[in-house]
Structure formats: C-alpha cells, structure tokens
Amino acid sequence: MLRAAIDGTEFQFASEISILAAAKQHGIAIPALCFDPRLDPIGSCRICCVEVEGEPHPQIACRTPIRDGMRVTTHSPALEAFRRELLEWMAARVPPASFASDPDKELHGLMRAYAVEPAGKARAGIDASHPYIRVDMSQCIQCLRCVRICDDLQGEFVWHALSRGDDQTIVPDSGTTLEASSCVGCGACSDTCPTGALVDKQRRKANAATSATRTTCAYCGVGCELEAVVSDGRLVEARPVLDAPVSKGHLCVKGRYAFGYVHASDRQTRPLLRERGKWVPTSWDGALDRCAGALQRIVARYGPDSVGVLGSARATNEENYLAQKFARVVLGTNNVDCCGRVCHTPSAAALKSMLGAGAATNSFDDIERAAAIFVCGANPLENHPVVGARIRQQVLRHGTALVVADPRRTEIARAATLHLALRPGTNIPLLNAMAHVIIAENLADGDFLQRRVADFERFAASVASWSPERAAGICEVPADDIRAAARLYATRRPAMTFHGLGLTEHLQGTEGVMALINLALLTGNLGKPGTGVNPLRGQNNVQGAAHMGCDPSVLTGSVPIQENAARFGAMWGATISRSHGLHLLQMMDAALAGRLKALWVVGYDVLPTLANVQVMRRALEKLEFVIVQDLFMTKTAQAVGGVFLPAASSFEKDGTFMNGERRIQRVRKAIDPPGEARSDWEIIAALAARMGHAEQFRYASAQDIWNEIRNVWPEAAGISYARLEHGGLQWPCPDESHPGTAILHATKFGRRERAALEPIQYVPSPETTSEQFPFVLTTGRTLYQFNVGSMSRRTPNTRLRPTDTLDIAPPDACALGLENGEIARVTSAHGSAQLTVRVSAAMKAGEVFASFQDPRIWLNRLTGPVRDRVVQAPEYKVTAVAIEKAPAGRRKQGTSARPA
C-alpha cells in the first residue's frame, strides 16, 4: 500500500499505477491526448504534464508511476497556461467546420474547455474513399494512436508514420486511399483518434447523442459488448466497451459499423397475411388469429407431430426458451430445432458424448495463456474477428505457436507457424495421423492418460495404421508437416484448439470433432488454463438457442427428454411428449413425405441457406402453413410464408445472449421497435395465450422469463439479471455466490471420472471429383457479409463486399481462360450458379471457394444431399463442380469484386 497526495488530498494505492490512472481512480481528470487505456503510454502530447513536489520540471502523468509520499498538483495556473498554449498550437490544425461537426473528439472537447478557438483552414486532400472512415490527416496531431491501435489491437499494421524532414505524416499501407489499403474496417483508429483526422462517417452525419446503452453485439458468437449511441431515436454509433471481458475495447467492422439494417427502409413493421398469393397488412389480432386457427386445425387433424418450430440463433435465450416451451406445451411436440443443426450440432454432440458437456471447454481468455493454438477449419480473422485478432497478436508478439488446418491460405493461415493446406473433406486422416505421431513419438501425457482417460489401447491400435505418409496421400499435406504439427501441439503446453465449420460441415463432422478431442485427451490439454476444445460458435446466440431447448432431443439446459420430461411437465403444468422430435433436416424430409404440415420459423432464412435447395424447396412447398417471424421479408417467407410476424431487433428489446464460451450477457433495449414490430417473446407469449395457454406464458418482462429459466436449469440458477449488470457470467453457475465457470472438466467429465478415446474410421465423402466435375468447391463466409446478408447487406458493408466470388488458383484460372472479375458458370450434380471470378493465391489448384452470402446468387443451388453421419448437418464443405466461362449474353451484370 502506498500513499500519495493529489491536489492536496491524500489517497492510498495498492500498486504503482501511473499518476494519470491514480488521479482517475479518484475522479480527478487530467487532460490527455496521446493516451488510450488500451495502449502502452508514450507520453508524447505533453498535455497530461503535472507538477510533482521536489521535481524541477512537470512530469508526464501517463508515464510516471505514483510513488509513496508523492505530492502531485494537476491543475496549477502554470500547467493550465502550458496546456492552453499546446491547445492553441493544435487548434491551428482544426477547421471550424470539423470542430462543429465532431464535438465528441477529445481535442475538440479540450478546446471547448480551455476556450480555444479552431483556427485551421479546411484543406483539400480529404480521403473519403472508405464507406465508414473519413481521413483528413491535415488535422493530425501526431499522437500515433491510430498507428499503435491498428498494430496492437487489430494486428493489421495499416497505418504508417512517414517522416519527411521535420514533418511526420500518417499514411495507409496502400500509400493512397484507405479503401485501397489492407484496412479491415474495425474502426479502432477512428475510435481512438482524438482529432478530426479520422472520423466515423455515420456518427458525423447525426445530431448530438441522446443516450448510450450498453448491450451485446448482434452478429457472431464472440459476444463483444458495445454502447449503442442513439440520436433522435436512431442508432448512430456503436462504441466498444472498454471493460468488456471478451472484446476488451475492440469491435469488428460489423459490430462497429453494420447496424444500419435496423433502420432499413424495407424493415417489416406490420403483420402480414398471404391472401391469394399477395401479402396484405393486418392487425396483430388478425395475424395471431390466423396462426392460432391454422395450428389448431392442423394439430387436430394430423396430430401434434405434424407441426415444427424453428427457434432463432439471433434471438435471446428468453425467446428461444419460449419457442421450445411453445412447441412442447402448446403444440405437444418435440419437433423443435434451430440453425445450430447446420453448423455446430456436430461439435455439441461430440463434446457432450465424449466429455459430458456440449460446449466450449475453455474461454477466450485462455488465448493469452496458451503456448500453442491449433485452429482447425475456422477462419477467425474474418468470421470471429475480435478473437482472430487476439490469436494473431499472441503469435506475432508473444511467440505462441499456431497451427492452422485449412485448404485455403486464409489470413490466419498466413500468420501461422505451420499451415496444413489439406484437401477439403480429409480432416479425419489428418487428425488420426497426428494422434499416431503423438503416440509413436511418446508425446502423450502419461499422467493424464492414467488418471483421466479410458480405452487408450483400443485407440492406439486404431491409429497404428495412420502413419503420416498414409494420411499425406489422402490429405495432400506433406508427412513431415503432419509430424511437425503433432509435435507442436503435443509439446508446447498448454495447447488449445479452436475449430469451425471446416471441421463440422462434413459427412464426418461429428466424428471430426471427436478426432480433435482425442488429441486433447492424449496430450492432457483439458481442464486447465490455456487448453481445451473450443468450437467458434456462429451467431450471437446459437449456443443459447440450442441450450434453451431448441433441439428435439433435449430440454432447457441440454438435458435428455426421457429423464426430465416429468420434472419439466410439473414445472410447466403440462404433459411433455416423450416421443422423438424431428430435427430440422428430418422436418424437411417429413414435409417432403407429407407428414409435416406446418412450420413456424423464427429468425432463420432456411430456404437459401439449406444445402440441396431444389429438394428443400419442394419440401417447404408441400407445407400447408408457414409462419415466418423476422425483421425482413426473407426468401423463405417470399416462397412459402402464409403469415409474416414482424420482430424487434436486438437493439429494441431486453434479454440475454450466450456466447461461444458459455457466457450469458445482457442485451438491453436502446430504441423502440419500428411500427408495430414486437419482440419475439411477446409474440410467442401472445400466440400461446391465443391458443389457451395464457397462464403458462404470462410474463411481464424478459427478466421474468429468465427467472423461470434459472428455475428449470440449475446450472444457471446463480445468474441473476442483477449480477449481469456487472458483466457476463459463464455457466455452470449454480448459486448467486458462484463466480461462474471459465474452464470445464477441471476434475471430472460430467459425472464421469474418465473420458474415453474414440477410434474414428475414415469414410470418404461420396462427393468425389470426376472428369465431369473436376474441381472441389468448398463454401463459407467472408468478413463483410454475414450469412445470406439479411442484416449486413442492408448496410454499407455491401460496398466493401458487393457479391459472392468464386476464388480460384491462378493456374486453374489461366487454364480455363478466366480473368479476375469475369463471370464463371459453376455446375455440380445438383445445380448451377454464376459467380464473379476472383483469382486468388490463397487457393490451391483443383480447389475453389465461394461464399454463400448473396441471395441473388443462391450458392446452395450447388451443394448436395450428403449429411453428417451422426447429427445430419449438411455437407456444405465438399461439392464436386465443373467450371466454365459463362456463355456470352447470359452473364450477370452489376457485380464486381475487389482483387484478392
């Protein structure tokens, strides 16, 4: 404990923090311009100088530690005069127009506080090329915050400080415009910039802010926290939250900038009914009556199992809880699922069966504790950018070993110690061969095997024949690279894995995850900091949607139906069906066979996103009645919707999301829903009431529903809304004094002492290349668009990524006579699509990649009927295709692509 006086008052400090931080702790604000708590202090702006008794010159507060007995003066007349002088010098660079239009900038705020007038001239040379960030370096004060934050937080190294004589200028790595640079639009630079040099264009256009509400991002499963800034009832800015446990003051281009969909002109704001093929607006009473009548008629005629409900990975836990409760209590069926089926149900199934819990074993904070990281089939710098940046920073700055298994040379693969560019669909041989090496070279953790693992002998026998040479012949990865990868993962401890859809969306998706878990078990990389098996979950709340029970085989908390039906029945005041429910793909099969008659789709555009579209469309068309509940008129609604229910977005309601590391975080209402749109929970409760279940669905608020969830799900009993005010909590969290669980399986695997290693036999995909279809197409996503773009395509992100591309290796493009920007026709055994060619060095010959994010292209016309052998997720990642130049005259216009 040290004691020091600031401005005459004595305070105590636990550690040697800076004078600036010490003063801040006690509410004393010292002006600072080059300082950002996310960055190491450089002390170049001098404006934070303070007087320290006994020191002949002022001391730089952001860099000088507070010491025992120190006496600090923060605002003497001399200091204030010095600060005014500095500000006057800076004000010569501030044009009055910028001073007026960007009042939130720190320099402008200080100028107002010190009554310093802007004296700059507006200059030419403003770079407005980027859709979100306006660059005017004539206003720069050389604090280097932009350069440092791009390097330190994002690891993109876009901004460079060039010295020309006395003058320093900051330029993007393109040497020209920001748009042409390697900028990924994370916005950290404009967020940190204290001047008008870098400004957020969307914020600039708005009036003064009227409120800022802390909430959780609505895009991916990372769970970044942001402040939704509102002006005149509209969202105008998303600011990163500095003390957010996951994002730590960072955001990506979607979280930070792509919120404009909320105010899109085609947001649906009224309930609609389909009348003789046409959508007509109706009242909520009219819409709910139509839904209740149709569902009651269908249940009466064909039985409860003729109806299915799909929850939404975009909606809150509370809403998904109600969706499955509706299916089970009101309809009487277990036919309830969500889009988790098509991405990480394989992960959940593998983790649950082998380790006892169907979720990430560790936390994102383990990234900084791991000595090695193995990223298998995931592209985190584009799809989970804040986590991707954290991984890359550890590799670049702290020497963490990184192995990436991905057919493409993605951004993260470029940062890797070792990139295994395997052939799509060959994860099992690769992972089995890594296990083979670990055993053959005695790299396993003997102690862990002895205490916590079962079936070693059987497993060792199963991988004995998987020499790296044998796998190399299938994966097309050099045997020595497989050895090196196994050694890195096994010997650099602790080691953690992250995986994505490149592992799960296959014929052997679940088994692929099991093969990865085998590696963690062999090396003892479970139950400890810096270890574990961690699926990078898709949407904001896909982990939560399934965990709430939007999964036919489990009830809330992911517990099996047979054993728990009685308990839930008693709590819900209903009899819970014990018959097997249908999952999403089975629902489609049942619809095609005429057994499923009605479907309620909440926040999920199934038609363009399911594989094997031709067949799926026929299935959907056979349904008698479809309810779509969404923000927008989705393709599913357009094709087969009978009633459209307009939903509130996450900015317009309260609730919670569960991120990919099991963390429950609050979602808070920042604005009102547009028109008559309502939150999903209100809609579901209203329909339940209309169908005679008012008592079981009587809730006053989202919190009310959450408290019921805590009651039925013991592992969340300790997570109250009141506690969530102080940050998220990770389940299990059984009581209100429990801190939550960052790392699973520390001592046991569920109720089991040991986890068994699982031998996995390799089964090649039936989608094989042939003379007719010589290329392997793998599909996935890109940074700027999110899934089929329902949200991101309604924002300026579409300028950054206008349409899907067909990424192809230079020699293949050359052989086919295809050039960058040309249109190619891609044909599979299942259909064809036209795509803009992007010649890319990230691709290997014989393999092509396309995103599925432009609904006009509808890429899933190409993907086929193969499904995961265990949970039936579609095999989106392997399709044999033929490629040719699109016939002249039939080429699609209006699409363009940035070169790779």
Q: What is the CA radius of gyration of the chain?
A: 28
Among 74, 98, 383, 656, binds ligand MGD (CB under 6 A): 383
Residue of 847, 845, 876 whose CA lies nearest to 862: 876
Among 358, 388, 532, 538, binds Mo ion (CB under 5 A): 538
> Torsion angle, CA of 678/679/680/684, rounded to 10 degrees?
-60
3-class DSSP state of 590? helix
| Distance in Å, CB of 422 to ligand MGD, minimum | 6
Phi, psi dihedral angles at 799 (to 5 degrees): -70, -35
Q: Give the binding range for ligand MGD (CB under 6 A) out of 202-210, 487-495, 684-692, 786-794.
A: 786-794
Tallying the residues shown for the chain, one arrives at 900
x/- letters, 519..548, toward ligand MGD (CB under 6 A):
-----------------x-xx---------
Using the rule CB under 6 A, is 194 a contact of ligand MGD?
A: no
Using the rule CB under 6 A, is 840 a contact of ligand MGD?
A: no
Distance of alpha carbon 470 from alpha carbon 483, whole angstroms: 12
DSSP code per residue over 880-898: EEEEEEPPTT-PPPS----
Using the rule CB under 6 A, is 405 a contact of ligand MGD?
A: yes
> CA-CA distances (angstroms) from residue 301 to 287, 294, 597, 620?
21, 11, 10, 19
Using the rule CB under 6 A, is 314 a contact of ligand MGD?
A: yes
In 430-506 the beta strands, taken as DSSP E runs, fall at 453-454, 495-499
Among 317, 362, 410, 525, binds ligand MGD (CB under 6 A): 410
Give me the amino acid identity at 450. Answer: Q
172 membership: H or E segment, kind and range: strand 167-172
Give me the amino acid identity at 778. Answer: T
Tell which positions 580-609 bind ligand MGD, by CB under 6 A: 602-605, 609
Q: Give the binding range for ligand MGD (CB under 6 A) out of 42-50, 55-63, 625-633, 824-832.
A: 625-633
Nearer to ligand MGD, 66 or 310 (CB): 310
Using the rule CB under 6 A, is 647 a contact of ligand MGD?
A: yes
Among 133, 342, 403, 719, binds ligand MGD (CB under 6 A): 342
Q: Which does 502 bind (CB under 5 to 8 A by kind): Mo ion, ligand MGD, none?
A: ligand MGD
In eight-state DSSP terms, residue 423 is P
461 membership: H or E segment, kind and range: helix 456-463
> CA-CA distances (angstroms) from residue 615 to 621, 625, 830?
10, 18, 10
Q: Give the binding range for ligand MGD (CB under 6 A) out of 40-48, 439-447, 499-507, 765-773.
A: 499-507
Residue of 660, 621, 613, 665 whose CA lies nearest to 640: 621
Nearer to ligand MGD, 532 or 538 (CB): 538
Q: Which does 660 bind (CB under 5 to 8 A by kind): Mo ion, ligand MGD, none?
A: none
Nearer to Mo ion, 538 or 831 (CB): 538
Q: Are strands 71-73 and 159-164 parallel, antiparallel or unpaired?
A: unpaired
Using the rule CB under 6 A, is 153 a contact of ligand MGD?
A: no
Distance of alpha carbon 654 from alpha carbon 135, whole angstroms: 36
| Distance in Å, CB of 423 to ligand MGD, minimum | 7
Distance of alpha carbon 515 from alpha carbon 532, whole angstroms: 13
Q: Which does 864 bind (CB under 5 to 8 A by kind): Mo ion, ligand MGD, none?
A: none
Give me the amino acid identity at 684. Answer: I
- 752: tokens are 């089991």
Nearer to Mo ion, 343 or 428 (CB): 343
Using the rule CB under 5 A, is 311 a contact of Mo ion?
A: no
Using the rule CB under 5 A, is 343 a contact of Mo ion?
A: yes
Among 255, 271, 377, 468, binds ligand MGD (CB under 6 A): 377
Give me the amino acid identity at 818. Answer: L
Among 680, 682, 708, 812, binds ligand MGD (CB under 6 A): 680
Using the rule CB under 5 A, is 95 a contact of Mo ion?
A: no
Among 394, 790, 834, 872, binds ligand MGD (CB under 6 A): 790
| Distance in Å, CB of 401 to ligand MGD, minimum | 18
Residue of 601, 590, 610 whose CA lies nearest to 633: 601
Using the rule CB under 5 A, is 258 a contact of Mo ion?
A: no
Binding residues with ligand MGD: total (CB under 6 A): 64
Give me the amino acid identity at 709. Answer: I
Q: Which does 382 bind (CB under 5 to 8 A by kind): Mo ion, ligand MGD, none?
A: ligand MGD
- 68: tokens are 């025992």
3-class DSSP state of 149? helix
Q: Give the binding range for ligand MGD (CB under 6 A) out of 44-52, 337-345, 487-495, 617-625.
A: 337-345
Distance of alpha carbon 64 from alpha carbon 219, whole angstroms: 40
Helices and strands (H and E) in the chain: how many: 32, 37
Using the rule CB under 6 A, is 224 a contact of ligand MGD?
A: no
Distance of alpha carbon 693 from alpha carbon 712, whole angstroms: 19
- 760: tokens are 């996995």
Using the rule CB under 6 A, is 703 a contact of ligand MGD?
A: no
Among 144, 339, 591, 658, binds ligand MGD (CB under 6 A): 339
CB 614 within 8 A of CB 598: no
Q: Give the binding range for Mo ion (CB under 5 A) out of 338-346, 378-386, 389-397, 460-468.
A: 338-346
Q: Give the binding range for Mo ion (CB under 5 A) out of 336-344, 382-390, 460-468, 667-675.
A: 336-344
Using the rule CB under 6 A, is 632 a contact of ligand MGD?
A: yes
Distance of alpha carbon 550 from alpha carbon 104, whole angstroms: 43
Binding residues with Mo ion: total (CB under 5 A): 2
Nearer to ligand MGD, 220 or 488 (CB): 220
Q: Give the binding range for ligand MGD (CB under 6 A) out of 35-43, 431-439, 495-503, 743-751.
A: 495-503
Q: Give the binding range for ligand MGD (CB under 6 A) out of 53-61, 380-388, 462-470, 703-711.
A: 380-388
Using the rule CB under 6 A, is 508 a contact of ligand MGD?
A: no
Place of tokens 């095997």: 449
Nearer to Mo ion, 762 or 786 (CB): 786
Using the rule CB under 6 A, is 778 a contact of ligand MGD?
A: yes
Q: Give the binding range for ligand MGD (CB under 6 A) out of 6-14, 71-79, 630-638, 751-759.
A: 630-638
- Write out 618-673 in H/E/C secondary structure: HHHHCCCEEEEEECCCCHHHHHHCCEEEEECCHHHCCEEEECCCCEEEEECCCCCC
Among 779, 795, 803, 836, binds ligand MGD (CB under 6 A): 779
| Distance in Å, CB of 410 to Mo ion, minimum | 17
| H-assigned helices in 719-795 | 721-724
Distance of alpha carbon 680 from alpha carbon 374, whole angstroms: 38
- 749: tokens are 């695997």
Tell which positions 374-393 bind Mo ion, by CB under 5 A: none
Tell me the CB-side half-sphere exposure of residue 261, using CA atoms within 13 A. 27
Nearer to ligand MGD, 340 or 549 (CB): 340
Distance of alpha carbon 496 from alpha carbon 860, whole angstroms: 33
Nearer to Mo ion, 308 or 500 (CB): 500
DSSP code per residue over 25-72: HTT-PPP-SS--TTS-----S-TTEEEETT-SS-EETTTSBP-TT-EE
Q: Which does 248 bind (CB under 5 to 8 A by kind): ligand MGD, Mo ion, none?
A: none
Among 425, 660, 718, 732, binds ligand MGD (CB under 6 A): 425
Q: Which residues bind Mo ion (CB under 5 A)?
A: 343, 538
Question: Which residues sit at the interface with ligand MGD, rule CB under 6 A?
Answer: 220, 312-315, 339, 342-343, 376-379, 382-384, 405-408, 410, 422, 424-425, 427, 500-503, 505, 536, 538-539, 602-605, 609, 629-632, 634, 647, 649-650, 680, 778-781, 783, 785-788, 790-791, 849, 852, 859-860, 863, 876-877
